[in-house]
Amino acid sequence: MRVLLAEDDDRIAADVATALSSAGYAVERVSSGKEAWFRGDTEDFDAVVLDLGLPEMDGLAVLNRWRGNDRRMPVLVLTARGSWIERVEGMDAGADDYLPKPFRMEELMARLRALIRRSAGMASPVLVNGELVLDTRQMKVTVAGVPIGLSAQEYRLLSYLMHHAGRVISQTELADHLYGQDAERDSNAIEVLIGRVRRKLGVDLIETRRGFGYLVPESS
Amino acid sequence: MRVLLAEDDDRIAADVATALSSAGYAVERVSSGKEAWFRGDTEDFDAVVLDLGLPEMDGLAVLNRWRGNDRRMPVLVLTARGSWIERVEGMDAGADDYLPKPFRMEELMARLRALIRRSAGMASPVLVNGELVLDTRQMKVTVAGVPIGLSAQEYRLLSYLMHHAGRVISQTELADHLYGQDAERDSNAIEVLIGRVRRKLGVDLIETRRGFGYLVPESS
DNA sequence: AGCCGGCTGTCAGCGTACTGTCAGGTTCGT
DNA sequence: ACGAACCTGACAGTACGCTGACAGCCGGCT
């Protein structure tokens, strides 16, 4: 699941990005309206989180252009607290949902899930990959039916890999999603984490592509 | 349980708010139609008490917009004039119940309880999870048939967890539902509460997902 | 009013599990 | 064979959650 995050406030953007990635979404962040418009117009996203107060081009204008150009991906708009006028305008422009700032991260996640579910149709909350099963509701992992106790970081890492099963994920991508872009480049934290997860799950469930990254193979 | 109270008459609002909170609901009050719509559209409530004679936007319009936007929380409508027409319109707009002013507070509370029970459980007012049984009608809890005496907060916490059995609930989500959104972020009240409930019920019935939250496992 | 008991949130202390770092070893590709 | 990439065990600091004690509050009872 790819999500486009258009938000110029670094603090908020970082928080949202972290939450999204640890929920297993692949996040692409942009911080200007023009960039948002361009990316959203030329790439496919499963959803967009769009702040209205963007530099260079107003969020509403971006949205209008997308819709005018037949881009129908679900868009969740962030608005300033209490600005109902913006909401109404946004609704007319074709937004699918709204969230006033400040918001609770959980609510954003819930609404985004709802949007994606509505548009894509029933993404199961349980990821299955061969013997490996990850229940996102219970945050529980089993291998061949045997429950595995994972720590928070371990769970996030595995969740991300499983949400992108069959794709090679680089160490930097993992680090970005686990720690944010301020991750230290010189650290083997990811390697250690991979090791710990492997020890608990079984060594073969996560493969290494030396020089590129890791992946959990599809229907292993 | 969070309840949105939309009522512009300060006297009535204060009375209802008092009654609701002393019955253990977390009450959020608004006094204009626009605000009601906004809050109800962007936040999660377990129920709404909605006056029809609101400034800025008519209660019926608010309700219509909610339902049009797929907000399904139970709504109890209040109106000054017990007119038939308004009642019919209200039901058409998706109200779940209707109460003419003046009303007796007990009746409001009873109807609200009924609404919440209906929307949450539908089938039965008794939540069962293995040995653990919670009777929302009598507000009684038993474990393996043995009655457990819980305080109000303890009961609310357990009730919320059981209504969402099988899902991990974060501390902030619990705090929001127990205290409303003005909850202090830095407090271990929830942890203490969890501890007290566990001591009474048995330690294994509520699991901890360190770093994420708590859950009562399904059909444990 | 005054006393009492239960409820509830705060606080401090404690133990455990988590997590990043490091050093040294191993594997892989070329 | 050599270096880079990766793995792994050990370790220390710390974050997280649990618990007992306590004080304020409220309602009930005398």
Q: What b/e string do you get for A46-78 counting C-beta neighbours within 10 Å, with b at 16 or more?
A: bbbbbbbebeebebbbbbbbbeeeebebbbbbb
Q: Answer whether any strand D atom is within 7 A of the Cβ of B191.
A: yes
Contacts with B34 from chain A: Cβ below 8 Å: 84
For range A43-64, the mean pLDDT: 87
Residue A212 or residue B138, greater confidence: A212
What span, in angstroms and rounded, lies between the C-alpha atoms of A111 and B66? 15
Q: Answer whether any strand D atom is within 7 A of the Cβ of B211.
A: yes
Interface of A with B (CB under 8 A): 82, 84, 87, 98-100, 103-104, 106-107, 110, 137-139, 151-153, 155
Nearest-Cα distance to chain A for B93, in Å, is 20
Q: Answer whether any strand D atom is within 7 A of the Cβ of B52.
A: no
Q: Answer whether any strand D atom is within 7 A of the Cβ of B198.
A: yes
Distance between the alpha carbon (CA) of A210 and the C1' atom of C29, Å = 9
Contacts with B41 from chain A: Cβ below 8 Å: 98
Among candidates B42, B173, B215 on the partner chain, residue whose Cβ is nearest the Cβ of A106: B173
Among candidates B173, B212, B218 on the partner chain, residue whose Cβ is nearest the Cβ of A152: B212
DSSP A5-57: EE---HHHHHHHHHHHHHTT-EEEEE-SHHHHHHHHHHS--SEEEEES--SSS
Residues 173-212 of B with CB under 7 A from strand C: 178-179, 184, 187-189, 192-193, 196, 210-211
Quick check: A161 pLDDT over 70? Answer: yes
Whether A138 sits inside 8 A of B44 (CB atoms) is no
> What does the pLDDT read at residue B60?
84
Quick check: A12 pLDDT over 50? Answer: yes
Distance between the alpha carbon (CA) of B156 and the C1' atom of D23, Å = 24
- For residue B211, give the amino acid letter: G
> What does the pLDDT read at residue A82?
53
What mean pLDDT value characterizes chain A?
A: 83
> CB pairs under 8 A, 24+ apart, for A200-204?
A200/A148, A200/A149, A200/A150, A200/A154, A201/A132, A201/A141, A201/A143, A201/A148, A201/A158, A202/A143
Nearest-Cα distance to chain B for A104, in Å, is 9
Tens-digit pLDDT string for chain B (220 aa): 889 999 998 888 888 888 887 777 888 889 898 889 888 887 778 899 999 888 888 888 888 888 877 787 889 988 765 555 555 555 556 677 777 777 778 778 877 877 776 676 444 567 889 899 998 777 889 999 899 999 989 999 999 999 888 889 999 889 988 887 667 778 999 999 999 999 999 999 999 999 999 999 987 5
pTM above 0.85, yes or no: no
Q: Answer whether any strand D atom is within 7 A of the Cβ of A81.
A: no
A61-104: pLDDT as tens digits: 899 888 877 788 889 988 875 555 555 566 666 777 777 777 87
Q: Which of A89, A87, A88 is nearest to A101 (CA)?
A: A87
Give the side-chain half-sphere CA count within 13 A for A109. Answer: 18
> What does the pLDDT read at residue B139?
83
Token pair recorded at residue B45: 């409530």
* Nearest-by-CA chain A residue for B218: A138
% of chain A at pLDDT higher than 70 = 86
Quick check: A197 pLDDT over 90? Answer: yes
Q: Which nucleotide's C1' atom has the smallest distance to the CA of B157? A: C8
Contacts with A151 from chain B: Cβ below 8 Å: 210-211
Nearest-Cα distance to chain B for A71, in Å, is 21
Do the beta carbons of residue A205 and residue A220 sit within 8 Å? yes
Confidence of residue A121 (pLDDT cuts 50, 70, 90): very low
Q: Answer whether any strand D atom is within 7 A of the Cβ of A172.
A: no
Distance between the alpha carbon (CA) of B201 and the C1' atom of C3, Å = 32
Distance between the alpha carbon (CA) of B195 and the C1' atom of D18, Å = 7
Residue B147 or residue A43, greater confidence: B147
Whether A82 sits inside 8 A of B166 (CB atoms) is no
Q: Answer whether any strand C atom is within 7 A of the Cβ of A185.
A: no
For D20, nearest residue by CA–C1' is B192
> What does the pLDDT read at residue A170?
92
Nucleotides on strand D with an atom closer than 7 A to protein CB?
5-10, 16-21
What span, in angstroms and rounded, lies between the C-alpha atoms of B81 and B104? 15
Q: Answer whether any strand C atom is within 7 A of the Cβ of A189.
A: yes
- Report the alpha-carbon angle B3-B8-B11, nearest 5: 90
Least confident of A7-16, A121-130, A137-146: A121-130
